[in-house]
Amino acid sequence: MISRNYNATYVEENLLRQIEIKENQLKIAQESNMIYVAEAVESELLNLRSQLPEPQEQELQALMNLLDD
């Protein structure tokens, strides 16, 4: 159980780190008027954000973990 929680946390933290990097890349591309690059980075950013678990799903998972313990 603990390893599953650790893996989920690691995956989420990794996604958040990737999102932060893409946000910085997007900002640089927009400031540099690199329209096509900005569009590509924006698409990648949306894809990464869609992979994040929903807040309600996290709360449900936390409650289920309490029941398992």
The answer to whether 49 and 19 have CB atoms below 8 angstroms apart is yes
In this prediction, residue 11 has a pLDDT band, given cuts at 50, 70 and 90, of confident
Please provide the average confidence, as pLDDT, over all residues in the chain: 83
Between 20 and 58, residue with greater pLDDT: 20
Structural domain count, the chain = 1
Domain residues for the domain of 25 are 2-68
- What average pLDDT score do residues 3-12 get? 75
Written as one letter, the residue type at 67 is L
Distance separating alpha carbons of residues 53 and 61, to the nearest angstrom: 10
pLDDT of residue 46: 94
pLDDT of residue 65: 67
